[in-house]
A and B are shown apart, each in its own frame.
Chain A
Amino acid sequence: MQERPLKVAIVGFGFMGQTHAAAWARIPEAQIKAVFEVPARAPQIRHMVSEYGAKVVTNYEEILEDEEVNVVDVCLPTFLHREYVVKALKAGKHVLCEKPIALHLWEAREMIDAWKSSGKKFMIAHVVRFFPEYKRAKELVDSGALGEPRIARTYRYSAFPPWSVKGWFGVQRLSGGVLVDLAIHDMDFLRWIFNDEVARVYALSPERRVVKGITAQDHGIALLKFKKGGIAYVMASWAYPKTVPFSTYFELVGTGGILQFDNRSTAPLRLGTSEQYSTIQTYPEDPYYLEIRHFADHILKDVELMVTPEDAYKALEISLAAVKSSLIGEPVSLPLKEEVIP
């Protein structure tokens, strides 16, 4: 067998770690060498990990010291990103890290600084940029078909992920809540498609939680004002009942017309059984695979990054401004001077 140049360690094997592993397994130039997990979870993932021909490691230093490993894919909870990413970059590894980049701007800055002095490749996995409907919208806007972007709406909602009710996700200071963890997809996409920076954010998030037993904000609505005068409405929610499938909606109006897509009503497949009825998007290619393929190409062929660490920093800044606004009840101007995640 030909030598595979990318030796990958996946750090954290929860939902995202498993999703990334499935995508890495499809990259011919890559081999998953190791998966890091905490000792308590190691036994239950051993079987899945061995299917990739990889070993389970419970000591992160072991991955950092493994000279063969040249790619570290951090799929840990957000509050751990900075520590694990910085260590990996300093150990000379290329790093892919789940979104959001971090929970605080100082952490994101430290990660970016570590990347810049490392000479290694670093990407934050803002997967929405690899979803074909979002990508198409961006291409259409860039083609000039819509004129100057003016006003946009984004919705992104589902029930609270059932695997995380007792975990870090439901803790505001660990996940940042729905405005950071979920809305950040649209914050990033809006910056990208408006091709502009956000000047001001106003957001509302209910004090009362719909999801029982969590502290994280589970519903949020935000207004973004862009520097060139565009505006956008963002609705992100984990407060929907579990009967509602994960849903997204996007519209953008420009001086030349309107563009819309609605994943609630536009899908090629529906399934109805005695238990459920669901609308299914069948993607021509798995966006997570496309994302990881892109990062592999960035490492191997120096293909230009579609989403830079600075983009990830800016998206976080918008989300944090939304959280802050929702807490103080005032619009918040960017750049952010003081962060608030209680």
Chain B
Amino acid sequence: MRKFKAALLSFAHVHAPSYARVLKELPNVDFVAIWDDNEERGKAFQKRYSVERYYSDLERLFAENRDLDFVIVTSENARHYEYVKIALEHDVHVLCEKPLTTNLGHADELVSIARRRGLKLGTCFVMRFHSATIQAYNMLRGGDIGLPISITTTNHGTCPYKAAHWFVEPELSYGARVNLREGDPRYRGGSITDHTVHCADLLRWFLGSEVEEVYAEVGANIRSDLEVEDNALVMLKFRNGVQASIDCSWSRPEGVYPTWGDVNLYIVGSNGVIEIEAFNQNVHLATWKMKRLVYSYWGPDVDKVMITQFMKAIEEDSEPKASGWDGRQATEIMLAAYRSIKEGRPVKLPLL
């Protein structure tokens, strides 16, 4: 078995610690380095995961680790482009947190650099690696419910701002301050940026079809202390005729609700239905100390499956199951939702 040398760039994203854990747990990975622009945070995680080297200078990380195979980028959304590009230009494969970028030009550039240099660029669409979604994919493609017709999806969550405040800072979550629409003081970069892409990607994967048209509505905010939106509903028409919806809201009260949120898909077909509640495998725990009920998840370790398969794609020189292109397509759907909100009407894809 080949051994991979890996580094993790930035612990800004709340998913980073789990990826770091996986890198430590996998026997064929040498987790050699961490880069983080926040030195205190970087060093704390270096210690927690016993990683050999910490860098505050990204160029130095690449200069001193020339045998690096791949990096995982878990920075703020708006910085993905810069860090992924640097890594690719050092001929290192990259697995990037979603959304790949918040800008289509940037996504296209990253995909094309990776292609030109023969590198693997993957997007962290972890939901493609869950045993329930994989089995559902096989049932759907096997014709168990006939042809898919209409799909209702949700990716609810708690607002991540207390764990990582940049999620609600438009410059960092979206890369710019762009008003949602005329007369609305809120900026792009909230729950639509964070939570549209998982379901959008699952739908594209399940259907093997691209989105033709997007319509979205944003509600008044649940939390009044945010500059960005925290709830929205998105409707999709696919080229193959399937209709779908995404609820991407940060609508679960943090610190109170028993779990972080959900990824649910209700697929209505011509001859049956498939219902997925991917995070419905929990031990319910309540203690006097916690003063609330908590769901302790015991389902598939999707992060581990995803990283393992990304390494397999490197080894076999095959396209990652959730590629940079898939990241780009999901970003386009997310951007179309924003445009629909701005214009108050359905928006056709591809975006010009």
Asked if A and B bind, the verdict is yes
Which residue from chain B places its CB closest to the CB of A221 in the assembled complex? Answer: B245
Complex alpha-carbon distance, A248 and B350, angstroms: 36
Interface flags for B236-259 (1: CB within 8 Å of A; 0: not) read: 010001010101010111001100
Q: Are B346 and A329 in contact (CB under 8 A)?
A: yes
Chain B contacts of A205 at CB under 8 A? 243
Stretch at the interface among B89-97, B118-126, B162-170, B217-225: B217-225
Stretch at the interface among A50-58, A131-139, A254-262, A294-302: A254-262
Given contacts A150-B220, A253-B249, A253-B251, whether A206 and B215 have CB atoms under 8 Å apart is no
| Residue from B220, B247, B249, B270 whose CB has the most chain A CB atoms within 10 Å | B220
Complex alpha-carbon distance, A341 and B249, angstroms: 33
Q: Are B222 and A150 in contact (CB under 8 A)?
A: yes
Q: Are B249 and A221 in contact (CB under 8 A)?
A: no
Complex alpha-carbon distance, A148 and B221, angstroms: 10
B278 contacts the other chain (CB 8 A) = no
Q: Are B268 and A239 in contact (CB under 8 A)?
A: yes
B231, B243, B273: which contacts A240 (Cβ < 8 A)?
A: B273
Complex alpha-carbon distance, A151 and B268, angstroms: 23
Complex alpha-carbon distance, A247 and B157, angstroms: 24
- In the complex, which residues 248-283 of chain B have their Cβ closer than 8 Å to any Cβ of chain A? 249, 251-253, 256-257, 266, 268-273
Chain A contacts of B233 at CB under 8 A? 151, 223, 231, 233
Complex alpha-carbon distance, A316 and B125, angstroms: 41
Q: Size range of the interface on A?
A: 35 or more
B150, B217, B220, B272: which contacts A221 (Cβ < 8 A)?
A: B150
B105 to chain A, nearest CB (A): 29
A200 to chain B, nearest CB (A): 8
Given contacts A150-B222, A204-B150, A239-B149, whether A231 and B268 have CB atoms under 8 Å apart is no
B149, B213, B217, B235: which contacts A219 (Cβ < 8 A)?
A: B149
A286 contacts the other chain (CB 8 A) = no
Q: Are B150 and A233 in contact (CB under 8 A)?
A: no
Complex alpha-carbon distance, A225 and B271, angstroms: 32
Chain B contacts of A223 at CB under 8 A? 215, 217, 233, 235, 245
| Residue from B224, B235, B268, B270 whose CB has the most chain A CB atoms within 10 Å | B268
Which residue from chain B places its CB closest to the CB of A325 in the assembled complex? Answer: B215
Given contacts A228-B220, A235-B152, A239-B268, whether A202 and B252 have CB atoms under 8 Å apart is no
Q: Are B243 and A204 in contact (CB under 8 A)?
A: yes
B21 contacts the other chain (CB 8 A) = no
B345 contacts the other chain (CB 8 A) = yes
- In the complex, which residues 229-245 of chain A have their Cβ closer than 8 Å to any Cβ of chain B? 229-231, 233, 235, 237, 239-241, 244
Which residue from chain B places its CB closest to the CB of A249 in the assembled complex? Answer: B266
B344 contacts the other chain (CB 8 A) = yes
| Residue from B232, B251, B345 whose CB has the most chain A CB atoms within 10 Å | B251
Given contacts A241-B272, A255-B222, whether A231 and B231 have CB atoms under 8 Å apart is yes
| Residue from B217, B218, B237 whose CB has the most chain A CB atoms within 10 Å | B217
A262 to chain B, nearest CB (A): 11
Q: Are B270 and A331 in contact (CB under 8 A)?
A: no
A207 contacts the other chain (CB 8 A) = yes
A150, A206, A221, A258: which contacts B221 (Cβ < 8 A)?
A: A150
A153, A202, A206, A210: which contacts B217 (Cβ < 8 A)?
A: A202
A330 to chain B, nearest CB (A): 6
| Residue from A228, A233, A235, A244 whose CB has the most chain B CB atoms within 10 Å | A233
Chain B contacts of A330 at CB under 8 A? 345-346
Would you mind naming 7 contact pairs between A and B with Cβ atoms under 8 Å apart? A151-B233, A151-B251, A202-B346, A207-B241, A210-B269, A221-B245, A253-B231
Interface residues of A (CB under 8 A from B): 148, 150-151, 153, 155, 200, 202, 204-208, 210, 219, 221, 223, 225, 228-231, 233, 235, 237, 239-241, 244, 253-255, 257-258, 329-331
